[in-house]
Amino acid sequence: MKQYLTLVLISILSLDVLAQKVDIQYKTTDSYEPLTEEISISASPYGYSVWLPENKPNGAVVFFHAEAKEESDFSMIPIANKAGLAVIFVSTANPFDFLFEAKQMLELEKYISEACQKHGIPSGNLLFGGMSLEGTRALKMAIFSKSGDCQKCIKPKAVMTCDSPLDMARFWKEGDKAWRLNINELGANEGKWVSQYLAKKLGGTPEEVLTAYANYSPYSYLSAFGGNARFLNDIAIRAYTEPDVHWWMKNRGKDYYGMNAIDAAALINQLQINGNDSAELILTENKGYRPDGSRHPHSWSIVDEEELIDWFMGLE
């Protein structure tokens, strides 16, 4: 039997001497989401939370996860609040949600809409973003806002992704290869569940149902105009990535085909070809480090958060 718990918290916190009102609206469930026949995961809190600036917000940064996984995730809050932006976190109960179905996207747009209406946040001045799969969700939600399935149809002014997988046919192939080679245990385990989960949800492998992969992906190299990328032609896009191929070869046995950097470059290139003058590829070098100090190019630390907010605030 599912048990639900609603937590509502209104408080005043001090971060860098900046007053912030925090509105937390999450529910929990004891249900589990099977990723594969072998792997099930615990559900995460679903709903939204809002971190508000001292004065009326002039927009918001929207992240697609329930809570920060790393200390650096929260460092965006005082930076955005100082610029007059709220920070909104939204999530479904599946922490590894790929947003395969409209149902989950309708849930997320409902949370965004409710947060904006409740706190007077202009829904026309939103920056969607996230790290890795969260960035994939951000693009999926931007594309969804232009579909016939959306209800609130909240189109973001801009989207940023941080080393996110975008072409799922490529992502399936590199995941399948990683777990079969089994060079690195962590990479092999991730590759196995990712490739099996994609095949489960999309009805087979890319060789069997390539059209399903192209229709799902935020970007498809094999599709005309980048597939769903065409829906992003009038949205400002930034894709951050640190293409340290030597690190990936040494530590994971992966080359350029196994890196999300190839998707980031391909997406931005296609958008620029399509005529999007506000599409930018941000490449970094030796900035990818985890909070414990260990080297990893697939890290949020590659994002210059202050510069990102300055870029967003400068958009017309």
Question: What does the pLDDT read at residue 39?
Answer: 77
Looking at residues 22-48, what average pLDDT do you find?
A: 84
Q: What proportion of the chain, given as a percentage, has pLDDT over 90?
A: 80
**In-domain check, residue 154:** yes
Give 163-208 pLDDT, tens digit per residue: 999 999 999 999 999 999 999 898 899 999 999 999 999 999 999 9
CATH number, domain containing residue 286: 3.40.50.1820
Q: What is the DSSP string of 86-130?
A: EEEEEE-S-TT----SHHHHHHHHHHHHHHHHHHT--TTSEEEEE
pLDDT band at 8 (very low <50, low <70, confident <90, very high): very low
Phi then psi for 181, rounded to 5 degrees?
-75, -35
Question: What does the pLDDT read at residue 31?
Answer: 74
pLDDT band at 300 (very low <50, low <70, confident <90, very high): very high
Give 145-157 pLDDT, tens digit per residue: 999 999 999 999 9
Q: What proportion of the chain, given as a percentage, has pLDDT over 70?
A: 91
> Is the domain of 13 the same as that of 71?
yes
> Is the domain of 257 the same as that of 155?
yes
> Is the domain of 181 the same as that of 153?
no
Question: What does the pLDDT read at residue 22?
Answer: 87
Q: Which of 157, 190, 216 is the last residue of a domain?
A: 216
> Is the domain of 229 the same as that of 263?
yes
pLDDT above 80 (res 117): yes
Are 175 and 192 within 8 A, CB to CB? yes
Question: What does the pLDDT read at residue 20?
Answer: 59
**In-domain check, residue 12:** yes
> Is the domain of 49 the same as that of 150?
yes
Question: What does the pLDDT read at residue 18?
Answer: 41
**In-domain check, residue 35:** yes
pTM passes above 0.75: yes
**In-domain check, residue 2:** no
pLDDT band at 1 (very low <50, low <70, confident <90, very high): very low
**In-domain check, residue 29:** yes
**In-domain check, residue 13:** yes
Other beta carbons within 10 angstroms of residue 247's beta carbon come to 18
The total domain count for the chain is 2
Distance CA 110, CA 80 (A): 22
Give 233-267 pLDDT, tens digit per residue: 999 999 999 999 999 999 999 999 999 999 999 99
**In-domain check, residue 1:** no
> Is the domain of 144 the same as that of 288?
yes
Give 265-288 pLDDT, tens digit per residue: 999 999 999 999 999 999 999 999
**In-domain check, residue 173:** yes
> Is the domain of 153 the same as that of 174?
no
pLDDT above 80 (res 96): yes
Distance CA 177, CA 171 (A): 10
> Is the domain of 155 the same as that of 175?
no
pLDDT band at 130 (very low <50, low <70, confident <90, very high): very high
> Is the domain of 180 the same as that of 268?
no
pLDDT band at 67 (very low <50, low <70, confident <90, very high): low
Mean pLDDT, the chain, as a whole number?
A: 90
Question: Nearest to residue 115, comparing CAs of 62, 46, 159?
Answer: 62
> Is the domain of 195 the same as that of 162?
no
> Is the domain of 180 the same as that of 282?
no
Residue 119 to residues 12, 20, 58, 63, 141: CA-CA distances in angstroms?
15, 13, 11, 17, 21
Question: What does the pLDDT read at residue 66?
Answer: 72
Question: What does the pLDDT read at residue 73?
Answer: 53
Domain with 179, as residue range(s), is 168-216
> Is the domain of 174 the same as that of 279?
no
SS3 at position 244 = coil
Question: What does the pLDDT read at residue 291?
Answer: 92
